[in-house]
Structure 1
Amino acid sequence: MPDPDRRPATIKTIAKALSLSASTVSRGLQGDPSVTEKTRRKIMETAEELGYRRDFRGVSMRTGKTFVLCSVLGTPPSQEFGDPAAMHLIQGMIAGVEGTDFKMVTRPVETSEQRLEAVREAVTNGRFDGLVLDHSEPQDPCVLYLLEKKVKFITFGRTELFSDHPYFDIDNEHAAYEATQHLVSKGHRRIALVDPPPRYLFSRQRLRGYQRALEEGGIPFDPALVNENNIGARRVRERVSQFLAMRDRPTGFVTSNEVATLGAISAARALPAGEAQALQFVSRDGTNIFDYVEPPVSSCYYPLLDVGERLAQNLVKAVEGAGIETLQTVERTTFIERPHRTIGETI
Structure 2
Amino acid sequence: MEHDTSSIVKNQKLTEIFAKMNLGELPAISGHVNEVLKITLNKRALTTCVSKVILKDYSLTNKVLQVANSAYYIRGTRITTIERAVAALGLDVVRELAVSISLIEEFLKSGGDKDSLSQQMAISLLSANLSKLVVQEYKIPVSPEEAYVCTLLHDLGRIIMTIYFPDVYRRIEAGTTSGSSEEAMCRLMFKQLTFHEIGQEIARFWNFSDTIVACMDPNPPEAESLVDERHILQNLAVFSNLFIRDICYKRPPHVMARRFKNLFPIKMLPLLEMSLSLADTVGNVSGVIRYGLTTLKYRSKCIATAHKYQKKSAA
- Asked if Structure 1 and Structure 2 have the same fold, meaning a TM-score greater than 0.5 normalized by the shorter chain, the answer is no
The structure richer in strand per residue is 1
State the TM-score, normalizing by the size of structure 1: 0.23
The structure richer in helix per residue is 2
Structure number with bigger Rg: 1
State the TM-score, normalizing by the size of structure 2: 0.24
